[in-house]
Each structure stands twice: as structure tokens, then as C-alpha cells.
Amino acid sequence: MSKKTVLSGIQPSGSPTLGNYVGALKNWALLQGEDRYCYYCVANLHALTVKQDPQDLHRRSFETAALLLACGVDPEVSTVFIQSDVKEHAELSWVLSCHTPLGELNRMTQFKDKSAKHADNINAGLYTYPVLMASDILLYQSDLVPVGADQKQHLELARNIAIRFNNTVGETFKVPEPYIPRVGARIMSLQDPTQKMSKSDPNPSGCIAIMDDPAVILKKFKRAVTDCDNSIAFDMENKPGVSNLLTIFSVFTGKTIEESVAYFEGMGYGQLKTAVAEAVIAELTPLRERFDELLKNGDYIKAVLKTGAEKARETALSTLKDVYAHVGLYLS
């Protein structure tokens, strides 16, 4: 059986949330294996859609790469690189922009959401970055793309672009499929469990950052919104706060939702919140320790990124040459 190629990226926007970890980073390490070849990039080009301090962006890009390694991504097995180190991402994005109807970009809901949050900087990159995302995916002939439920629209655009290009210009791209974890793909705010956990949550107690201190994590979980009846059951419609806590507990203990509900039988919400916090802390503490150790060895991280960029460029350039040939461009 041939290996499946996996591509995913993460923006260097500070310490990722628990939702980012559960929905993406935790799975990146699990996806590594004999039957898959993984490309993981720090998507610093995407970060430019909002205003950035240059030195801060450079530092966060480096730290995000270290975080990927701390989360278990093995550079001997997977290719880890900084997006801007592989110029083919930007080059393919221009070609694909010329093969993407305006109507498809107009339907991207995240542009409307981000425009509302960054009303002082509604730029063309914010509008067209789904095409850059499609380029990220298609450059590596990806079979699988780990995505959260809210990113399925962007992957669908990448699929549409690939199919259209193949049909009208020439067979070039694999059409990627989504990889969505069965449990924990969507972690909700601890203060408003009807909304996804986000660093932009107006209530800082609603969001757990994976670099939060254990005391902070415990305090935030103890403040988590539940309900009034004190019964522990999984019901996203009627008990979203309790259901969110059960989902987190399930992900961090390996128990099913049913096993988690049975585990808490006869207990109250205080015990539930403490147990969830302890399960999260137990997994994140060694991760933070590995991260701190890696940052002490900057030369190692630089070597990993240099090798990763070279490997990524080899594949990316092969795809770009094929694209250029089909559209009539010359690449020496």
C-alpha cells in the first residue's frame, strides 16, 4: 500500500489554545507512521493578513516550530518547515488565484468574520488567503488534510480548485480529503460553550493556552460554566458546558464519552472540573518542559527547519514545474 501524504500548517500567533492542541497538534504526532508521509509548516505568510511586529513574528515562528517538536512531531519521520522558506507556496498561489472564480471567494465565511474583527485592516490578503491555503495543500499532492470542523469550507475550496485545474488545464493535482478526529475536533469556550475556544475570547477565563501554568489551568476550569441541575450527562444541546468538559476529559484520558459519563456517576460539578483540569495538566506539563528544553538548543531547531525546507522545496518545485508547463510558463 502506498503512503498517504498529509499536509497541515499552523500560524505563529502565540501559544495555541487547548482547542488548537486537541483539534490539530495532538493529532499531528499521531498521524505520523509507516503508512503516511507528513509535511507540517509554520504558516507565517498567512500571519501577514493581520498587522505584525516583524521581530515578534520572527520569534513566534521559531517558537512555534519548537512547539511542534515538543508535541511529538519527529523531524526524522515528518518534514517540518517555515512556509516562507519555500517560495513555491507564493508562486503557486498566484497561478491558482487566476483559476479561482470571485464567487467562490465571496462565499468564504471566515473573511466576513475576520473583517469584522480587523476592521482597520481589511486587505486583499485577508480576502485571498484561502487560495494560498489551497496552494499549501496542493503543492505536496496531499491525500489528507487535518482540519477542524470550521475549516472544512477552505478545504472544499482547495478541492474545487484542484478539480477545475485538472479538468480545464491538465491533470496535475491530487484531490485532497479531510481528516477530522472523531472526538475533540471542536473544543468550546469554558465561559460560553456555544462558541469555539479562541484566544480572542473577550473573557480570558474561557480559553486555556497550552503554555498556561498548571495553577492557571486549574483556576480556569473551576470557573467553567455548567448549569443548575448538577447532573453529569452528555447533551450538547441542553448541557453544552458539561458536555464540553466531558469531551475534554475523554480526549485527555483516552476514555470514550460513555466511559467518562460512567466515571463521574454520583459526583458533582466541582469534582468534574477538578478531574478535567488534572487530566489536562498531566499531559501538558511534560509538553511545556520539552518545549523549554528545545528552546535552549536553538541551533538544533534551525538545522531541523533548514533540512525541512530543503525537503519541502524538492516536492514543491516538482509540482510547480508541472503547473507552469500546463499554463504555458517557463521554469528553468
Catalytic residue annotation: 114, 196, 199
C-alpha cell at position 100: 479561482
Residue 248 · residue 184 · CB < 8 Å: yes
Instruction: Say which DSSP state 332 is in.
Output: -
In the chain, at which residue ranges do the beta strands (DSSP E only) sit?
Answer: 4-10, 36-42, 79-82, 144-146, 177-179
What nine digits make up the cell of 249?
Answer: 476529559
Cell for 290?
520539552
HSE at residue 209, side-chain half, CA atoms within 13 A, is: 13
Dihedral (CA of 99, 166, 310, 39) sign: positive
User: Which DSSP category does 2 fall into?
Assistant: P
3-state secondary structure of 220: helix
DSSP 8-state assignment for residue 63: H
Q: Collapse the DSSP code of 37 into the 3-class scheme (helix H, G, I; strand E, B; otherwise coil) and give the result.
A: strand
Judge whether 129 and 49 are in contact, CB under 8 Å: yes
